[in-house]
Amino acid sequence: MEQLRKQLDKLIDRLANSDEFRSQLEDLKSVYPFSEYEYIISHLLAAQKLTLDEYYELRDDYINRNLYLYLFEISAPRGFGEVWAHGHLKELAPSLERPTKKLDKDYSGQYDFFLAPKIRIEVKASRAVAFDSDEPLYIKALSSSSKHPFDMNFQQIKPACCDVFVWLAAWRNLIRYWVIPSYEVEHNKHYSQGQHRGNVGEGNSI
């Protein structure tokens, strides 16, 4: 969003009344889907200070930088961590199976996927957001190229319950994946045991 703002600010300089226009923006009231950005772009097009080809280029650049911004609009943690992450991973690896007692007689909901012949997989997902911001997720979502300190952790990690962890980390513009044996997670210096009182073998990693 910061980059788009800078691009539009340069385009506003093309207007003959650029200072007056910026003053109007300070008092502008926006209601979805009529936003400040729509207001700026429509004025630039009407004043013929932004060509249609330039608009398409501006739009395409923004979309390419924000392919996964929609993930930050999922407010419910389970909606992101389970519904989206599990579905996304299943699309990437169709051979993964939902565990059942038939596949694993000891299964009782302690992991997410089963890979034949006997690999138990736990999926964890998180999103990169600005560390020192209280804004909504979609506002403080970060690009992978951002130098801003970010907050990202993977919670309720129980190495004893699976053989492999698959971690998905989402930025505005890309998704990164890690496949890590549970043994390595349990013995990593960044693994913090005892996230919740009374939960044996559970921790989180940052």
- Cis link prior to 33 (omega < 30° from 0)? yes
pLDDT at 198: 46
pTM of the predicted model as reported, rounded to 2 decimal places: 0.75
Q: How far apart are CA 99 and CA 107, in angstroms?
A: 7
Residue ranges covered by each domain of the chain: 2-65, 69-205
From 172, 173, 174, select the one nearest 141 (Cα to Cα): 172
Instruction: Give the start-end residues of each E strand in the chain.
Output: 113-115, 119-127, 129-130, 150-151, 154-157, 164-170, 175-181, 191-193, 203-205
In angstroms, the CA 135 to CA 192 distance is 27
Distance CA 103, CA 105 (A): 7
Give me the pLDDT at residue 194, please.
58
- Nearest residue to 199 (alpha-carbon basis) of 159, 166, 139: 159
pLDDT, tens digit only, all 206 positions of the chain = 778 889 999 999 999 999 999 999 999 998 878 899 999 999 999 999 999 999 999 999 999 999 999 999 998 878 898 899 999 999 999 999 999 999 999 999 999 999 999 999 999 999 999 988 888 888 899 999 998 888 787 888 899 999 999 999 999 999 999 999 999 999 888 887 654 444 445 545 54
